[in-house]
Every structure is written in structure tokens, then in C-alpha cells.
């Protein structure tokens, strides 16, 4: 019996007829046009390009989209065509034809993607390298990510205040900060950057992994505990954009956003940071008021976890931790009873070592935020006012170095008031000082840094007018 071996039908050498080649060419052209359309239309959905990097990233992405578009249309096109062309005839229940092995096809569909991936690798590497290359005169800004907010640290000279200070009269923490490099650390809840001024962000999380993402700048970088990661960008369009956390970091992750404002020049940057510096170099005398300012500007993430009616306007509506309404009464009663601490110790520790004592019903979620010592005391002084009556149920006595108000040791209170008054005094107040006493003039000349030694201080009226604060009222907390 002669066995019958199925024979492959013979065809010309390339295996393709003229018509097939024509179809492939036409299909190729259609695919390329389709890919170009996808690559050109999709970027219309992107956010604005507000940094120099966004241009480079988008160009690279455009190439990816065109190639991806061609592949997508090819694969989907063949799929749809095959489903339609080789569908089963009615009543045909036989198995499909068993086919395998086509060396040419396999070489082609391995080689083409390999080349594409190689080219994309080289292009991506080039873009990444240009972006991460240190730039001339770039500004370093530190970013801290904490569940669930951002803050940004700047090192700025006192000169942005546009006036001279007698450094020896500034609050002790300010003096300590200025001592090493003449710069003051400012912490802002908004990221201010300058158009065309390259920025390098040095980032570290307080707790878990977060990701710093500015869609309009096309930059995204993880913050990893125990490491400092960097990202670079050069803003190219003034305006306000959004920073988001792109790493699921906990219950309020979706709210972990902050504004980034691109200002036109460095003068505007100084002006934007000035109010922050002013709060540090000219803090109110009342520690509770200072504490309220610290908490109300949302530099720290407290508001994302705590609810506090007094700060509702600053978005203190978080519910990850206990509401802080009436926390002073609790500190004075149940909390100090359970912990054996004084009420102020309890409040201090609940911020400084939050997980030492856990409020019943809550887990160890509150981070250690490394808040400067004296700021913690200001916050404690403020939280002590959060009682039923609005009066602190206990007195807060901070350590000596945190007492801002009152005379520096060994000096009179009046010279300080005098310096403050003369630094900002208006023509009216100056005239008053001079007419009241001739020494007023002398005091005014001395705002350039020398301690004011005038034996006669400007009137309390003048100083009150100047600072909008009753500076002449003695400190509520004794040193």
C-alpha cells in the first residue's frame, strides 16, 4: 500500500505572490498612518508642559506611542481579521488545522521587537541622563513626605526680609540656625520654584514609601525610608500646578497633594518665602499663638489625620487619629492619670514619641515628625488651649531656650522693643519718637545691626502700631 504523504503546495521562492506583497505594503502603510495618528492625538490629553523636561519626556513618549500604536493595530487587526476570515462554517465541528513552525516568521517577529526595544533603551537612557545631570546654579530644595502631606525646606539668607536685624536679638533657635552658614531653614507647605531656575529635590519620607509626582513637570520619583532620593527639573511656565503622592501610602493617600507655584524670578521667590521667614524671626510672644500658626499653615501633616474645630478653616478634618477637640481637658484628666505624666508632658510626648502611649482604639500610625524642639513646645502651648472653656486647664512651662518673649538674660526688655519698633516704624512713629525725646533718632540709626542702647524706649503706642501685637505685654510664660 502506498502511503500518501501530504505535500506542501509549491509556490514561488519568496513564498508570496505579487498580490500578497501588495496587500502587505498597503497594510504596512495603513498601520504606520494609524500609529502616527495615535501618537499625535493621545498627547492632546496630557497636562500642560510646565518644565523643560516635559518636552523631552513627551517626545520620547510620542515615539513610544507611535510604535505601540503600530503594534496595537497590527495585533488587533490580525485578530479581528482571523476571527472573521477563519470562523467555523455552520455545522463544522472538526478540530482546526494543526500548524506549527515557520522559521522565517519567528526570526522576523523576534528581531523586530528586539531592535525596537534596543532603540528605546538607548533613547530613554539618554533622556534620563540629561534630566539627572547636575545643572549650573541649581537650587536645592528638601522635600519631606509624611502620611499625608508634603513640606519643603529652603535655606535662605536673612536678607530676603529686606531689612536689617540685630542677630543677637533674634529668637535663640533662629540664632542657632544662622550660626553655621548664615542661612535660615524655612519650611513651606507649598513648593515655590522659579521659572528657568533648575531645581534639585532631595527627598526623604518620614514614615513609609511615598512618590513625588508633578504631572505638569513630567517628573516622578519615590521617597524611600532611610535613603535620600533626588529628582531634577527646570520649571518653564509660571503658574500653579499640583504635586501628588503616587504611592499608596495609607488611609488618606488620595489627599496627599500640595501646590507647586512657579514664580517669574528670584525676587518673587524671595517675596513668596518672606512671610514664612517673618513668622520665624518675628514670632508672636504668646507661645499658644505661635503653636496655632505652626499648625494652621499645614506644614506638618497633623491635619490629614486629626480633626480640630478651631482649625477647620485650615482643613483639619482628618479622621485617621482621634479628634483633638478638648484634648487639653483629656490631657489634664484621663491621659495623665493613665500615663502618670503631667498634662504638658503628656501632650509633649504624644507629639514627640507618639507611639509610647496609644490612645485606646488607635494603632501606632502617628509618625515621629522630627519637629524642632521649641516648635513642639509651641504646639503643646496651643493644644493646652483646646479645652471646653477655651482656657488652658494647666500651665505650660517650656524649657528656657524656647521662651521667645521677655528680655534676654541680663538685659532690659525695652531695648528689644525699641529695636523692633525702629526696624519697621512708619514716618508717624518716628516723628513721635523724635519729638518725645531726641534719643529716638539715635535709636533709629542703629537698626543696622548694632544693639540698641537707647535708655529711652519709644512709646508702647509706637511699638503696638508697628507689630500689630501687644508686644509691650509681658510674656504669659515665665522663663
Q: Which residues would be at the binding site for ligand HEC (CB under 6 A)?
A: 147, 300-302, 304-306, 320-322, 324, 327, 330, 335, 347, 350-351, 354-355, 358-359, 362, 365-367, 369, 371, 379, 383
Closest to ligand HEC by CB, 379 or 439: 379
b/e sequence 362-391, b meaning 16+ C-beta within 10 Å: eeeebbebebeebbbbbbbbbbbbbbeeee
Task: Tell me which of Cu ion, ligand HEC, none is bound by residue 300, counting a contact when its beta carbon lies within the kind-specific cut-off of 5 to 8 angstroms.
Answer: ligand HEC
Closest to Cu ion by CB, 74 or 246: 246
**Shortest distance, CB of residue 251 to Cu ion, whole angstroms?**
11
**Shortest distance, CB of residue 423 to ligand HEC, whole angstroms?**
31
- DSSP class of residue 412 equals -
Closest to ligand HEC by CB, 66 or 311: 311
Closest to Cu ion by CB, 250 or 407: 250
Closest to ligand HEC by CB, 46 or 357: 357
**Shortest distance, CB of residue 386 to ligand HEC, whole angstroms?**
9
**Shortest distance, CB of residue 261 to ligand HEC, whole angstroms?**
24
Q: Is residue 462 within 8 Å of residue 423, measured between CB atoms? A: no
Closest to ligand HEC by CB, 218 or 253: 253
Task: Tell me which of ligand HEC, Cu ion, none is bound by residue 351, counting a contact when its beta carbon lies within the kind-specific cut-off of 5 to 8 angstroms.
Answer: ligand HEC
Q: Which residues would be at the binding site for Cu ion (CB under 5 A)?
A: 210, 245, 249, 256
Q: Are strands 239-245 and 149-157 parallel, antiparallel or unpaired?
A: unpaired
CA atoms within 13 A on the CB side of 429: 21
Task: Tell me which of Cu ion, ligand HEC, none is bound by residue 305, counting a contact when its beta carbon lies within the kind-specific cut-off of 5 to 8 angstroms.
Answer: ligand HEC
Cell numbers 518673587 label which residue?
268
Task: Tell me which of ligand HEC, Cu ion, none is bound by residue 301, counting a contact when its beta carbon lies within the kind-specific cut-off of 5 to 8 angstroms.
Answer: ligand HEC
Kindly list the distances between the CA atom of residue 91 and the CA atoms of 88, 177, 355, in Å, as whole numbers in the listed order. 8, 87, 72
Rounded Cα gap, residues 68 and 89, in angstroms? 34
Task: Tell me which of ligand HEC, Cu ion, none is bound by residue 369, counting a contact when its beta carbon lies within the kind-specific cut-off of 5 to 8 angstroms.
Answer: ligand HEC
Task: Tell me which of ligand HEC, Cu ion, none is bound by residue 169, counting a contact when its beta carbon lies within the kind-specific cut-off of 5 to 8 angstroms.
Answer: none
Q: Is residue 260 within 8 Å of residue 242, measured between CB atoms? A: yes
Q: Which long-range contacts (CB under 8 A, 24 or more apart) does 37-40 make?
A: 37/69, 38/65, 38/66, 38/68, 38/69, 38/72, 38/73, 39/63, 39/65, 39/66, 39/69
Closest to ligand HEC by CB, 199 or 371: 371
Rounded Cα gap, residues 187 and 299, in angstroms? 7
Q: Tally the residues of the chain.
A: 479
Amino acid at each position: 500500500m502506498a502511503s500518501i504523504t501530504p505535500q506542501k503546495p509549491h509556490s514561488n521562492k519568496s513564498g508570496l505572490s505579487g498580490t500578497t506583497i501588495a496587500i502587505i505594503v498597503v497594510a504596512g502603510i495603513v498601520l504606520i498612518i494609524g500609529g502616527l495618528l495615535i501618537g499625535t492625538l493621545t498627547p492632546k490629553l496630557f497636562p500642560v508642559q510646565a518644565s523643560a523636561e516635559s518636552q523631552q519626556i513627551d517626545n520620547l513618549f510620542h515615539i513610544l506611542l507611535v510604535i505601540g500604536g503600530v503594534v496595537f493595530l497590527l495585533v488587533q487587526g490580525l485578530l479581528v481579521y482571523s476571527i472573521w476570515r477563519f470562523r467555523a462554517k455552520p455545522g463544522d465541528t472538526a478540530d482546526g488545522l494543526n500548524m506549527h513552525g515557520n522559521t522565517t516568521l519567528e526570526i522576523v517577529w523576534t528581531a523586530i521587537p528586539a531592535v525596537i526595544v534596543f532603540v528605546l533603551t538607548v533613547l530613554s537612557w539618554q533622556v534620563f541622563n540629561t534630566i539627572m545631570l547636575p545643572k549650573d546654579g541649581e537650587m536645592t530644595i528638601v522635600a519631606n513626605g509624611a502620611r499625608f502631606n508634603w513640606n519643603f525646606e529652603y535655606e535662605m539668607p536673612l536678607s530676603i526680609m529686606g531689612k536689617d536685624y540685630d542677630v543677637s536679638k533674634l529668637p535663640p533657635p533662629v540664632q542657632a540656625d544662622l550660626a553655621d552658614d548664615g542661612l535660615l531653614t524655612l519650611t513651606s507647605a507649598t513648593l515655590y520654584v522659579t521659572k528657568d531656575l533648575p531645581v534639585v529635590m532631595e527627598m526623604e519620607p518620614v514614615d513609609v514609601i511615598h512618590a513625588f509626582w508633578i504631572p505638569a513637570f513630567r517628573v516622578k520619583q519615590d521617597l524611600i525610608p532611610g535613603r535620600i532620593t533626588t529628582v531634577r527639573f527646570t520649571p518653564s511656565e509660571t503658574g500653579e500646578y499640583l504635586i501628588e503622592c503616587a504611592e499608596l501610602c495609607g488611609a488618606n493617600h488620595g489627599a496627599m497633594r500640595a501646590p507647586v507655584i512657579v514664580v517669574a524670578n528670584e525676587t518673587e521667590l524671595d517675596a513668596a518665602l518672606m512671610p514664612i521667614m517673618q513668622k520665624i524671626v518675628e514670632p508672636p510672644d504668646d507661645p499658644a499663638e505661635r503653636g496655632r500658626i505652626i499648625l494652621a499653615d499645614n506644614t506638618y501633616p497633623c491635619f490629614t489625620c486629626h480633626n480640630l474645630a478651631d482649625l477647620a478653616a485650615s482643613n483639619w478634618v482628618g479622621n485617621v487619629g482621634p479628634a483633638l477637640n478638648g484634648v487639653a481637658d483629656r490631657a489634664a484628666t484621663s491621659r495623665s492619670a493613665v500615663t502618670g505624666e503631667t498634662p504638658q508632658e503628656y501632650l509633649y510626648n504624644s507629639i514627640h514619641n507618639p507611639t509610647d502611649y496609644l490612645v485606646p482604639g488607635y494603632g501606632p500610625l502617628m509618625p515621629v515628625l522630627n519637629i524642632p524642639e521649641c516648635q513642639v513646645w509651641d504646639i503643646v502651648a496651643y493644644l493646652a488651649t483646646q479645652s471646653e472653656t477655651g482656657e488652658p486647664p494647666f500651665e505650660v512651662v517650656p524649657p528656657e531656650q524656647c521662651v521667645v518673649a521677655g528680655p534676654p538674660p541680663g538685659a532690659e526688655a525695652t531695648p528689644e522693643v525699641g529695636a523692633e519698633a525702629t526696624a519697621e516704624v512708619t514716618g508717624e512713629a518716628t516723628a513721635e519718637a523724635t519729638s518725645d525725646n531726641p534719643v529716638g533718632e539715635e535709636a533709629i540709626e542703629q537698626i543696622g545691626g548694632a544693639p540698641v542702647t537707647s535708655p529711652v524706649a519709644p512709646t508702647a503706642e509706637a511699638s503696638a502700631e508697628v507689630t500689630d501685637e501687644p508686644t509691650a505685654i509681658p510674656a504669659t510664660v515665665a522663663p
